[in-house]
C-alpha cells in the first residue's frame, strides 16, 4: 500500500476581492427614502411640535465622583431640528440616493436623531426632575453583555459554516451551572468555570449532531434549546427550589472599579466599574476580532465557512475546525449564561434567558457576521431594553401601556432583522454540512 504525502496547508493565502457597489433599485430607494421621511415627520410633529412646553433635563453624573452640570433641552426645538435633518436625508434618498457604502452612516444618523428627539419628548413629562442618562448608559451595557457574548458565540460558529440556533440553550445551562456551582463550592471562579464547561458541552452536542450525523442545523438548535429548558427546569425543581440556600443562594459578583479609568466622567462608570465577566467580555471582543481577521486561524476559519471544499484541497482540516469553533462558541455563550445569574441577579430561575439567545442571533445577522457590527447591534438591542425600563419608571407625556414597553427590545430585533432581509449575505457555506470525499 502506498501512502500519499500530506498536502501542506497554505501558509500565505492572498485573497483579492473586488467589491462593486450596486446602486439600490428605484423601488428600494423610494421605500427607504419614504421610511426615513416618515421618521423625520414623526420627530417634527409628535416629538417636537406636540411636545410639552417644559424643558427636558438630563443628568450625566448622578452618583458619579466627578460632577457634571445637567443638560437642559427644549423638546420642541430638538424634535423640529432633528426631524428636519432626517426629512432632508429622506428626500435626498428619494431624489438622488445615497451610495450603498454611506447608507449605514445615514441610518445611524436617523436612528440617533430619532432616539434623541424621543428622549427629549419623554423626559419633558418628568416635571423638571432630571433623567439620568448615565443610568441609561449603564443599563444599556448591563443588558447588552449577554447579547454580546451570545453574538460572539454565533460568529465563531457561523464563520465556519455551522448555524448556532442553540445560543438560548447554552445561556440556560451556563446560568444554571454557574449558580449551582457557585452555591455549592462557595467560589465564583468555580461557578464561571462550570458555566463555560456546560456551554462547551452543549456546543459539543451541537457539533456532533450537525457535523458527524448531518442533522438539519436549524431543527437541531431548536431541539437543543428545548432540551436545555427541560433539563434546567428539572434541576431547578429537584435541587434549587427544595434547598435554595445550598444550591441557589443568590450570590453575585461585586463590581471591580479600575483606578483612574473608573473616574473618567461618563465613560468610567459605564465601562470600568463592572464585574469580572464584563472585563472578560472586553478581552474576548479584542481576541476574537483580531484572531478572525489578522491570524492564520481566522483566515482558515473564514475559508471553511465560505468554501470548505477549496479549504480542504489546501490541507485545512474542515471538520476539525468546525468542531473546534462550535465548542469554543458554546463556551463563550456559557460565559454569557453565567452573567445572567452570578453576574447580575445572583440566583437562577426557570427560563432566565427569556429569548436573549435569539436576540443575540439577530445581532449576528444585523452585525453582518462581524464582531464589531454584532457588538453595535447588541448595544442597540440593550439600549431598547434599558429605555423600556426607564420609561416605565419616569413615564411619558402620553400613557403608553407597560406591556408595549416590555415589547420594545423584541420589536427592535424584529424591525432590525426584517429591514435587512435580502441585504446581508451569510457565509456561503453557513448551514451546509460538509462530507469529505
Q: What is the pLDDT of residues 166-192, one digit of tens each?
A: 999 999 999 999 999 999 999 999 999
Who contacts 140 (Cβ-Cβ below 8 Å, separation ≥6)?
379, 382, 383, 385, 386
pLDDT at 19: 39
Domain boundary assignment for the chain: 26-129, 137-418
Confidence grade of residue 7 (pLDDT, cut at 50, 70, 90): very low
Strands 56-59 and 71-73: antiparallel
| Mean per-residue pLDDT, 298-304 | 95
Cα separation, 61 vs 264, whole angstroms: 11
Q: Among positive and negative, which fits the CA dihedral 271, 275, 278, 283?
A: positive
Share the mean pLDDT of the chain: 87
The pLDDT confidence band at residue 37, using thresholds 50, 70 and 90, is: very high
Nearest to 380 by CA among 363, 361, 357: 363
Question: How much is the average pLDDT of 9-21?
Answer: 42
pLDDT at 2: 42
Fold of 137-418: ABC transporter involved in vitamin B12 uptake, BtuC (1.10.3470)
Position with higher pLDDT, 223 vs 99: 223
Q: Is this structure's pTM higher than 0.85?
A: yes
Coil/strand/helix, residue 304 = helix
CA distance 121 to 82: 12
Which of the four pLDDT bands, split at 50, 70 and 90, describes residue 62? low
Alpha-carbon span 95 to 107, nearest angstrom: 17
For residue 324, give every residue at least 6 positions away whose Cβ sits within 8 Å of its Cβ, in sequence order, or none.
Answer: none
pLDDT at 150 over 90: yes
In this prediction, residue 64 has a pLDDT band, given cuts at 50, 70 and 90, of low
Rounded CA-CA distance 132/57 in Å is 9
C-alpha torsion 267→273→278→284, nearest 10? 60
Give the pLDDT score at 421: 46
- Could you tell me which of 113, 131, 136, 134 has the C-alpha nearest to residue 47? 113
Q: Residue 146 class from Cβ within 10 Å (0-12 exposed, 13-18 middle, 19+ buried)? A: buried
Amino acid at each position: 500500500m502506498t501512502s500519499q504525502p500530506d498536502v501542506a496547508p497554505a501558509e500565505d493565502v492572498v485573497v483579492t476581492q473586488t467589491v462593486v457597489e450596486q446602486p439600490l433599485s428605484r423601488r428600494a430607494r423610494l421605500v427607504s427614502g419614504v421610511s426615513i421621511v416618515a421618521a423625520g415627520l414623526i420627530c417634527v410633529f409628535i416629538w417636537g411640535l406636540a411636545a410639552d412646553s417644559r424643558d427636558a433635563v438630563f443628568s450625566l453624573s448622578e452618583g458619579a465622583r466627578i460632577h457634571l452640570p445637567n443638560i437642559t433641552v427644549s423638546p420642541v426645538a430638538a424634535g423640529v431640528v432633528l426631524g428636519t435633518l432626517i426629512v432632508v436625508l429622506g428626500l435626498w434618498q428619494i431624489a438622488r440616493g445615497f451610495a450603498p457604502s454611506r447608507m449605514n452612516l445615514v441610518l445611524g444618523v436617523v436612528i440617533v436623531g430619532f432616539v434623541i428627539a424621543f428622549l427629549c419628548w419623554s423626559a419633558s413629562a418628568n416635571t423638571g426632575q432630571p433623567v439620568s442618562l448615565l443610568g441609561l448608559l449603564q443599563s444599556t451595557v448591563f443588558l447588552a453583555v449577554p447579547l454580546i457574548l451570545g453574538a460572539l458565540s454565533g460568529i465563531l460558529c457561523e464563520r465556519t459554516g455551522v448555524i448556532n440556533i442553540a445560543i438560548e440553550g447554552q445561556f440556560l445551562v451556563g446560568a444554571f451551572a454557574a449558580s449551582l456551582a457557585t452555591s455549592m463550592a462557595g467560589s465564583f471562579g468555580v461557578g464561571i468555570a462550570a458555566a463555560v464547561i456546560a456551554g462547551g458541552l452543549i456546543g459539543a452536542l451541537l457539533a456532533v449532531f450537525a457535523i458527524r450525523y448531518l442533522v438539519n442545523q436549524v431543527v437541531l438548535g431548536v431541539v437543543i434549546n428545548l432540551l436545555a429548558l427541560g433539563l434546567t427546569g428539572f434541576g431547578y425543581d429537584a435541587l434549587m427550589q427544595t434547598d435554595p440556600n445550598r444550591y441557589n443562594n443568590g450570590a453575585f459578583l461585586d463590581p471591580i472599579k479600575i483606578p483612574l479609568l473608573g473616574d473618567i466622567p461618563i465613560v468610567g462608570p459605564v465601562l470600568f466599574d463592572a464585574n469580572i465577566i464584563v472585563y472578560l467580555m472586553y478581552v474576548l471582543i479584542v481576541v476574537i476580532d483580531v484572531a478572525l481577521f489578522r491570524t492564520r486561524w481566522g483566515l482558515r476559519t473564514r475559508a471553511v465557512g465560505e468554501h470548505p471544499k477549496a479549504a480542504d484541497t489546501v490541507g485545512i482540516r474542515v471538520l476539525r475546525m468546525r468542531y473546534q469553533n462550535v465548542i469554543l462558541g458554546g463556551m463563550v455563550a456559557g460565559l454569557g449564561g453565567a452573567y445572567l445569574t452570578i453576574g447580575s441577579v445572583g440566583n437562577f430561575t426557570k427560563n432566565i434567558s427569556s429569548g436573549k439567545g435569539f436576540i443575540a442571533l439577530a445581532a449576528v445577522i444585523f452585525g453582518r457576521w462581524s464582531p464589531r457590527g454584532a457588538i453595535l447591534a447588541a448595544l442597540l438591542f440593550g439600549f431598547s431594553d434599558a429605555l423600556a425600563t426607564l420609561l416605565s419608571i419616569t413615564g411619558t407625556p402620553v400613557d403608553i401601556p407597560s406591556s408595549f414597553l416590555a415589547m420594545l427590545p423584541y420589536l427592535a430585533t424584529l424591525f432590525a432583522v426584517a429591514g435587512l432581509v435580502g441585504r446581508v449575505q451569510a457565509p456561503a457555506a453557513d448551514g451546509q454540512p460538509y462530507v469529505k470525499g
